[in-house]
């Protein structure tokens, strides 16, 4: 099946799922063939275009439909996020740049939360579009700077806030903070703020980071464009890692306040939960170094 056939079948199937009465269109009566769902003419009317123009899309003969038009079609035909993604792929050859639902990427299903919490031996977590932690396992929580005698806890629910604004990350935990961490993280934040203008958490981060005397100048330098860290390797301290490269506990102290931690390289493996575009699942591979 080619894209033209797939597009036609998707649109015809979605039209057939909708009762015309939901659009204030009375059911047809009398003689003649009556198909279920909306007709092409009724869809075109709801889109404020001609039947011919909509027909070009459904037949796969519209050379370059605009994203706005495809989004309008998705709304009229009440498509789910995955169906809208298929519409873009069949019509344009690529996935939509941003989700249809403004709340997309702000949550994940309970199954994801259970799955992440039950992973052992490897730090992993899920964050939303604003870097709020939605799920995390104990191995991830134990990575952060710890105070001896206290139960390890996330220092911040928001990872951007911790990475860019907290003194313990800037001075102790994230090695070579400005170059390896602050510059790419700030660029990620700038991109996310533009992509999700209605997200209140991102707007607050934009304000707070911009006003910070340390992170602000880095954030305002727009010379680097950066979207995600998948595959990146950076240097950090891991407070929960107890076996060093020599097979022994070779942790040392970053400062008097924090418990000993292991210096090493962390590689970030990132993926996206399909039903929550914008959320990210991270598996962190840590390699200790002397």
The tens digit of pLDDT for each residue in 213-253 reads 999 999 998 877 776 788 899 999 999 887 766 667 778 88
Amino acid 32: pLDDT:
47
Q: Which CATH architecture has domain 110-288?
A: 2-Layer Sandwich (3.30)
Amino acid 81: pLDDT:
83
Is 0.85 surpassed by the pTM of this model?
Answer: no
Amino acid 28: pLDDT:
58
Token pair, residue 7, equals 């597009």
Amino acid 33: pLDDT:
47
Task: Calculate the CA 167 to chain-centre distance.
Answer: 26
Could you tell me which residues are beta bridge partners of residue 262? 238
Amino acid 34: pLDDT:
55
Provide the CATH topology of domain 3-92.
434 Repressor (Amino-terminal Domain) (1.10.260)
Segments making up each domain of the chain, as ranges: 3-92, 110-288
Amino acid 27: pLDDT:
62
Instruction: Enumerate residue ranges in the chain where pLDDT < 70.
Output: 1, 26-35, 102, 227, 244-247, 290
φ, ψ for residue 31 (rounded to 5)? -80, 170
What is the distance between the alpha carbons of residues 203 and 209, in angstroms, rounded to a whole number? Answer: 10
The Cα-based distances of 166 to 156, 170, 223 in angstroms read: 9, 6, 24
Amino acid 237: pLDDT:
93
């Amino acid at each position: 099946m080619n894209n033209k056939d797939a597009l036609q079948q998707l649109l015809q199937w979605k039209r057939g799922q909708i009762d015309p009465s939901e659009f204030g269109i009375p059911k047809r009566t009398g003689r003649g063939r009556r198909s279920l769902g909306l007709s092409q003419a009724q869809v075109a009317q709801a889109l404020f275009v001609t039947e011919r123009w909509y027909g070009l899309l459904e037949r796969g003969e519209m050379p370059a439909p605009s994203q706005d038009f495809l989004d309008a079609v998705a709304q009229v035909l009440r498509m789910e996020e995955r169906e809208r993604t298929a519409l873009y792929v069949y019509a344009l050859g690529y996935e939509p740049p941003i989700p249809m639902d403004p709340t997309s990427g702000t949550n994940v299903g309970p199954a994801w939360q259970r799955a992440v919490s039950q992973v052992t031996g490897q730090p992993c977590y899920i964050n939303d579009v604003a870097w709020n932690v939605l799920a995390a396992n104990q191995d991830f929580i134990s990575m952060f700077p710890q105070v001896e005698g206290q139960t390890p806890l996330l220092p911040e629910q928001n990872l951007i806030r911790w990475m860019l604004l907290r003194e313990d990350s800037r001075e102790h935990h994230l090695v070579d903070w400005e170059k390896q961490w602050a510059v790419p993280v700030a660029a990620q934040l700038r991109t996310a703020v533009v992509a999700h203008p209605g997200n209140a958490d991102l707007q607050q981060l934009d304000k707070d980071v911009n006003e910070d005397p340390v992170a602000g100048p880095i954030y305002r330098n727009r010379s680097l464009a950066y979207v995600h860290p998948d595959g990146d390797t950076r240097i950090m301290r891991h407070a929960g890692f107890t076996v060093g490269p020599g097979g022994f506990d070779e942790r040392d102290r970053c400062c008097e306040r924090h418990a000993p931690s292991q210096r090493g390289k962390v590689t970030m493996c990132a993926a996206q939960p399909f039903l929550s575009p914008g959320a990210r699942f991270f598996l962190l591979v840590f390699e200790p170094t002397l």
